[in-house]
Structure 1
Amino acid sequence: MERTLAQAATQLGLTRPKLIALMREKDLLKGNLPAYPKRDRDYLRIKDGQWYHEISGMQYSQSTRVKQAGIRWLAEQLGLNLPDIPADNRDVA
């Protein structure tokens, strides 16, 4: 499962701008894309998007996605404590 930076920030107990600022400070992001996409490929990836605009034609975008393993990795890289994950009680009779 992949998350946007906003979703990852929520899971880490931060806001998206604060997460981006911390990631830039630690040289994990350049702009809003991974600074080292090959090195960090197990944790972050670049998502390519495209859409058609009636006047301007094809438009292209790139954004950062955080992989499942990237949440804990980001917390370690940024020196954050992960919030406790609530227990899953759905299978309790």
Structure 2
Amino acid sequence: QTIILTQYGPITALGASRLPWYHRVDLRATRDVETSRGKFSFFVDLFNLFDTENAAAYIYRASVRNNVLSFTHTVAPQLGRLPSAGVSWEF
């Protein structure tokens, strides 16, 4: 007997295999400075301000035990709170 597996799993009802809802609040502050050499924009970002645990993907694993094929999945989390800063220059 031949069993063909795909990474996407079995065909299910529309929307049945979606990731759970996620919630994320991002924050950004920008300061523009005009100079004779152009405009500089300094910024600070904070992604996922409240450090909410959100699912990025499911990781599926297949295993065989006592000639029984079984599948399990675990949740791969997104990054937590992520700060960043930078500058852009318009000339």
TM-score normalised per structure 2 = 0.28
Greater share of helix? 1
Query: Larger C-alpha radius of gyration, 1 or 2?
Result: 2
Greater share of strand? 2
